Amino acid sequence: MKFNINGKEIEVEDAVLQTALEKKEAVTLTNDALVLRTKEEDEQYKVNLRSEAKNTGVEIAIKEWRDKLGLDFQGKTMENFTEALKNKVLTDAKIEPEEKLKNTLKDMETLKQTIQSVQSEKEKVVNEFSSFKNNFVVQSELSKVLPQNTIIPQDDILTIVKNKFEFAVNEGKIEVKQNGELLKNPTTLDPLPVKDVIDKFFIDNPTYLKPVSGGSGAGDSGAGGSKQTLDKFIGEMQEKGVALNSAQFNSEYEARVKAGLLEA
């Protein structure tokens, strides 16, 4: 007789069935080609099968990544893989930062040298411009205070004066030094103005000035070669806007007296 269980046929000999019925015993069937399970047994079978497949897949994946990453460890569990990977990362991290640090320090040194070069070039340009600007200020001021009746050209007089004194611009004001010492007003100890320094220089060095003609000359008295009177000299200075007893007035007075053109 044949039995159909869920689409699967099982054949049992009639004699075996007859004997089992007579004895009221269970029929024992042996067939390696057919496996029968209850619903609960089948569910557990499937769970176990999936677990085994999962473990097999994990083991295969671990082996592949072990070879790919060059890891060296025994076992095929995720714990073995994780521990080996962690150790490799830590080992590589000790090497990589050292190399990065070397490269960073090298880049920093290059950047430092570049910044120093740019800074030096900038300072050079600033200093050159400042020197040019200060020289222009000094030159302009000297041109204003130098007398016009010099016996040599103004450029030559400027050279002589600059060799005699040191001119520097400090906080927008010109300071004059001689032999490294700042020239000061003995009364107030304020730095001497450029004009006072220049006036005194020509008082001490009248030979740089041309003798002044005029005064009581042939046009005034009819007697050529006569000296100019003090009153005439004062009147001439007033016409020129030179204040009485100013440095320029005294300088001009001394120069004419030494030249024999003014009555002392």
Please say if the pLDDT value at position 217 is more than 70. no
Q: Name the β-bridge partners of 166.
A: 177
Query: Of 25-39, 58-72, 209-223, 243-257, where does mean pLDDT reach its minimum?
Result: 209-223
Closest CA to 234 of 214, 213, 249, 221: 249
How confident is residue 224, by pLDDT bands cut at 50, 70 and 90?
Answer: very low
Helix ranges restricted to H, 146-193: 154-164
Q: Which residue has the higher pLDDT, 204 or 16?
A: 204
Condensed to tens digits (0 to 9), the pLDDT of residues 96-145 reads 667 777 777 787 788 678 878 877 887 877 777 677 778 888 888 888 88
| Cβ atoms 176, 192 nearer than 8 A | yes
> How far is residue 37's CA from residue 39's CA, in Å, rounded to a whole number?
6
> How far is residue 231's CA from residue 71's CA, in Å, rounded to a whole number?
115
pLDDT at 215: 45
Please say if the pLDDT value at position 167 is more than 70. yes
Provide the phi-psi class of 180: left if phi over 0, else alpha when psi is between -120 and 50, else beta.
left
Measure CA of the first residue to CA of the last residue in the chain; give whole Å. Answer: 169
Q: pTM (2 decimals)?
A: 0.38
> How far is residue 203's CA from residue 257's CA, in Å, rounded to a whole number?
11
Ranges 87-91, 181-185, 246-250, most confident? 181-185
Q: Output the furthest CA–CA distance in the chain (Å, rounded).
A: 187
Q: Which residue has the higher pLDDT, 207 or 216?
A: 207
> How far is residue 6's CA from residue 28's CA, in Å, rounded to a whole number?
19
